[in-house]
A and B are shown apart, each in its own frame.
Chain A
Amino acid sequence: MTWFRRKRTREAALVVCFLLPSLAIFFLYRILPLGWNAWLSVHAWSPLKAAQFIGLEHYEEMLLDDDVFWQALANTLIFIACSPIAIAAALGIALLVNSDLRGAAVYRTIVFLSYPLMTVAVGIIWRWLYDERGGFINYVLRSSGLIDQPVKFLQSFDWALPCVILADFWQVLGFYMIILLTGLQSIPQHLYEAARVDGVPATARFLRITLPLLRPSIFLCIVVGILNSFTSFDLIYVMTNGGPGHATELLITYIYKAGFGQTRFDYAAALTVVQFLLLVVLTVIANRLSGGNAGSLER
C-alpha cells in the first residue's frame, strides 16, 4: 500500500473526491442531456416502445410541416431583437445613477428590485396590469382619453407579444443596469480627466471612451438577452400560455408542450437541438459583433 502513502497519489485522490460530486451533477444535468437530446432527435421513441433510428425525419417534419415551429422561432427572434432596446435603456439609467447623484443607491435598489422576484409572480402582476377591467394600463389610457374602449392586450394577436416583452423588460432592466454599472465603474477616471483637459466634448467622450470600454459588459448583456428568450417560459405560461393562437409561443414553451403535453419526447428533443444551435449561432454572431474574444479588451 505504499502507493497510497505517496503524496502525489493522495493529492490526486483528494482532487478526484472533491470534484466528483460537482462533476457528477454537471454530467447528469448538462453534458449527458446534450448528447441524449441529439440521440433522441434522430430516433423515434416513446416511453413504451423501443427506440428506432429514423434519421432526420423529425427535422423534416419540423421545418416543412410545422407552422407552430416557425411561429415560435419568429417570436423567439423578435424577443431577442428587442433586448438591445432594454440594454440601451439600462445603459442610460446606469449612466445617470453612476454619477455622484445623491440617493443613487436608492434609485439603484428600486430599479433592481424587480429582478430577484419569482417570474410567475411577475407574470401575474403584469397580467393584472394589462387587464381590461381592473388594470392600470387600460385605466390610464382611457382616462387620458387616448382610447375609448378597453384593449384586451393579452388576447390580441398584435399586442400580446409586445406586452409580454414589456413585462420581461421590467424584470430584466435591473440586471442589465447592474452589469453595465459594474462595467462603468471599472473605467479608470483619469481617461475622462485627460479627455476633458484636452477639450473633448461629452458626446465624443461617451462614444470614444465609455462605449468601447464597456464592450465586455454589453456583450454579457446581449448574451443574457439571448438566454432570456429561452428562459421566459414562466412569463408566457402564466400570462398567455402561448396564446392567442400561437402569437406568444416561444421555442421553449413549444418544447414543453411537445414534450410534456403531447408526450412526444423525441420531437421535443429535436426542437431542443434546434434551439441550442440557434443559441450557439447567435452567441457567435454577438461575439463577432463585439469584436471577438467575448468583447474583452485585450487583443
Chain B
Amino acid sequence: MARPSRRPPGSPPHWPRHAIMIVVSFLMLIPFYWVVKTSLTGENIYAYPPRIVPVDPHLFNYVDVWYMIPFARYLLNSVIVTAMAIAGSLLFNVAAGYALTKHFPGRRWVVMLLLSCMLIPFQATIIPAYLITSWLGVLDTWLGVALPLLSTIICIFVFKASFEAVPRSLIDAARVDGLSEWRIVTRILLPLSKSAIATNVILTFIWSWNAFLWPLIAIRTPEMQTLPLGLARFLSVMEDTTGALYAFVVLVLIPGLAIFLMAQKEFIRGLTSGATKG
C-alpha cells in the first residue's frame, strides 16, 4: 500500500535521509546487540574471531548471575534508595514549587539563589558532601545515599510552572471554602499537574538508579551497595570466559530501558524543560 509522499513538491527526495538515518541507527544499536549476543552465547567469549550470532545460545548465564553475586541484595538497595529519593523529592519539590508561586518579599532573591545553585555541579561538592553526610551520621545508609537527590532545582521549577498554569479562580474558590494550604495543593493543584509529577518521578528515578559516584563515596560496606556499585565490583572480581558479566549488564539495563520506553515523553519533557528555563 503506497502512502502518498508527505514532502512538499520540489523538495529533495527522502531516501538519502532514510539511508543516513539507517546507518546512524545501526551504529547506535551495535553496542546493545554485541552485549546481548555475548550474554547469550554458549562458547568461550574470548575466542577469536568472535561470532556475529550467538553460538549455542542459552539463558543460563542470567541464572548464574542471579546466584553467583548478591544480585537480589543490590537490586533491593537500589530500589529502596530510588523509592526514597522519589518520595522525598515529590514532597519537597511540590512544597517548594508551591511556595515559589506566592508573591512574598525576597522571592526574586530566592529564585536567583536557586538558579545559581544549579550552576554548581555535584562533582564540585563530593568531598564536603561526604564529610557532611558522615557528620549527619547517615553514611552507609539508604537515607544517606538518597539525601542529595531529595530536592532538585529543575523539578522545583517544573512544578512552579505547572502550578502557575492553574487558574487562580480555582485556588481562590478553594480558599474561600476553607481548605488549608496543603489541602489546596493536594486536592486541586496536584491532580492538574500529572505531567509535572511524571517528570519529577522519571528524572529522579533515572538520576538515582544510575548514580555511581555518590553511592561509591557514601557506601562503605558491601551489603549496602547499589546496582552500579555491584556491577563495578563484579567487573574487577570475575574474569571468567562466559558471558556472565554481560548478562549482569543486560539485567541491570532492563529496568532503566523499560522505564524509559514506557515514559519517553515525560523524560524528554523533563530534560528539555530544564533547557527552556531561561
Complex A–B touching at CB under 8 A: yes
Give every chain A residue within 8 A of B210 (Cβ-Cβ).
116-120
A21–B152 CA distance with the chains assembled, in angstroms: 11
Q: Is the CB of A113 within 8 A of B260?
A: yes
In the bound complex, CA of A283 to CA of B116 (Å): 13
A21 touches B95 (CB 8 A): yes
* Mask of A131-168 contacts with B, CB within 8 angstroms, 1/0: 10111100100110000001000000000000000000
List the A side residues contacting B31 at CB < 8 Å. Answer: 114, 122, 125-126, 129, 136, 170
Interface residues in A161-189 by Cβ distance below 8 A to B read: 170, 173, 175, 178-179, 182
CA distance A126 to B102 in the complex (A): 49
Residues of B in contact with A, size category? 35 or more
Q: Report which of A22, A179, A216 forms a contact with B93, defined as CB distance below 8 A.
A: A22
Question: Contact at A30–B123, with CB atoms within 8 Å?
Answer: no
Q: Which residues of B contact A93 (CB under 8 A)?
A: 21, 24
- In the bound complex, residues from chain A placing their C-beta under 8 Å from that of B96 are 18-19, 21-23
Give 1 or 0 for each of B107-121: 1 = CB within 8 Å of chain A CB: 000100010010111
Pick from B91, B95, B125, B260: contact of A29, CB below 8 A.
Answer: B125
B257 at the interface (CB under 8 A from A): yes
Let me know if B124 and A33 touch, CB within 8 A.
yes
Q: Which stretch, B57-65, B164-172, B186-194, B266-274, touches the partner chain A?
A: B266-274
Tell me if A268 is interfacial: C-beta within 8 Å of chain B: yes
A49 within 8 A of B: no
Which residues of B (221-278) have their CB < 8 Å from a CB of A?
227-228, 231-232, 235, 245-246, 249, 252-253, 256-257, 259-261, 264, 267-268, 271-272, 275-276, 278
Check B278 against A216 for contact (C-beta < 8 Å).
yes
Q: Determine whether A1 belongs to the interface, using a CB cutoff of 8 Å to chain B.
A: no
Report chain A residues within 8 Å CB of B212: 118-120, 233-234, 237
Residue among A120, A231, A255, A296 with the highest chain B CB neighbour number at 10 A: A120
Determine if B92 is an interface residue (Cβ-Cβ < 8 Å): yes
- B232 contacts A237, C-beta separation under 8 Å: yes
Whether the pair B127, A40 counts as a contact (CB closer than 8 A) is yes
Contact B132 A32 (CB under 8 A): yes
B75 in contact (CB, < 8 A): no
Cβ-defined contact, A117 with B256, below 8 A = yes
Least distance between B259 CB and chain A CB atoms (Å):
8
- Assess whether A113 is in contact with B257, with CB atoms less than 8 Å apart: yes
Asked if A220 is an interface residue, CB under 8 A from chain B, the answer is: yes
Q: Residue of A at shortest CB range from B6?
A: A100
Nearest-CB distance from A142 to chain B (Å)? 8
The residue in A26, A119, A135, A143 that gathers the most chain B C-beta atoms within 10 A of its C-beta is A26
* B25, A111: Cβ atoms closer than 8 Å: yes
Interface-lining segment among A7-15, A52-60, A66-74, A78-86: A7-15
Q: Is A259 an interface residue (CB 8 A)?
A: yes
Per the bound structure, the CA–CA distance linking A170 and B127 in Å amounts to 30
By the criterion CB–CB under 8 Å, are A107 and B217 in contact?
no
Our pick among B28, B114, B275 for the contact of A179 (Cβ within 8 Å) is B275
Chain A residues within 8 Å of B67, by CB: none
Check: B128 CB closer than 8 A to any chain A CB. yes
| Smallest beta-carbon distance A241→chain B, Å | 9
Give the interface centre of A118, A129, A131 by most chain B CB atoms within 10 Å: A118
Taking a contact as CB atoms under 8 Å apart, the answer to whether B264 and A109 are in contact is yes
Q: Does A210 contact B (CB under 8 A)?
A: no
Query: Quick one: given A29-B147, A118-B231, are A182 and B275 in contact (CB under 8 Å)?
Result: yes
Q: Which residues of B contact A227 (CB under 8 A)?
A: 121
Q: How far is the CA of A107 from the CA of B49 in the complex (A)?
A: 31
B124 near A118: Cβ-Cβ < 8 Å:
no
Q: How far is the CA of A276 from the CA of B49 in the complex (A)?
A: 46
Residues of B within 8 A of A18 (CB): 95-96, 98-99
Assess A296 versus B249: contact at CB under 8 Å? Given A33-B132, A37-B125, A129-B34: no
Q: Least Cβ distance of B190 to chain A in Å?
A: 14
Interchain CB contact under 8 A, B124 and A275: yes
Known: A121-B249, A252-B123, A275-B123. A40 touches B128 (CB 8 A): yes
Question: How far apart are the CA atoms of A221 and B239 in the complex, in Å?
Answer: 38
Q: How far is the CA of A24 from the CA of B257 in the complex (A)?
A: 33
Q: How far is the CA of A36 from the CA of B132 in the complex (A)?
A: 10
Sample of 12 A–B contacts (CB below 8 Å): A11-B104, A25-B150, A36-B128, A116-B257, A121-B228, A121-B253, A125-B34, A128-B38, A216-B275, A230-B121, A255-B126, A256-B213
Residue positions of A touching B, CB distance < 8 A: 11-12, 14-15, 17-19, 21-23, 25-26, 28-34, 36-37, 40, 93, 96-97, 99-103, 107, 109-114, 116-122, 124-126, 128-129, 131, 133-136, 139, 142-143, 150, 170, 173, 175, 178-179, 182, 216-217, 220, 227, 230-231, 233-234, 237-238, 252, 255-256, 259-260, 265, 268-269, 272, 275-276, 279-280, 283, 294, 296
Report which B residues bind A (CB closer than 8 A).
3, 6-7, 14, 17-18, 20-21, 24-25, 28-32, 34-35, 38, 45-50, 91-93, 95-96, 98-100, 102, 104, 110, 114, 117, 119-132, 147-148, 150-151, 153, 156, 181, 206, 209-210, 212-213, 216-217, 227-228, 231-232, 235, 245-246, 249, 252-253, 256-257, 259-261, 264, 267-268, 271-272, 275-276, 278
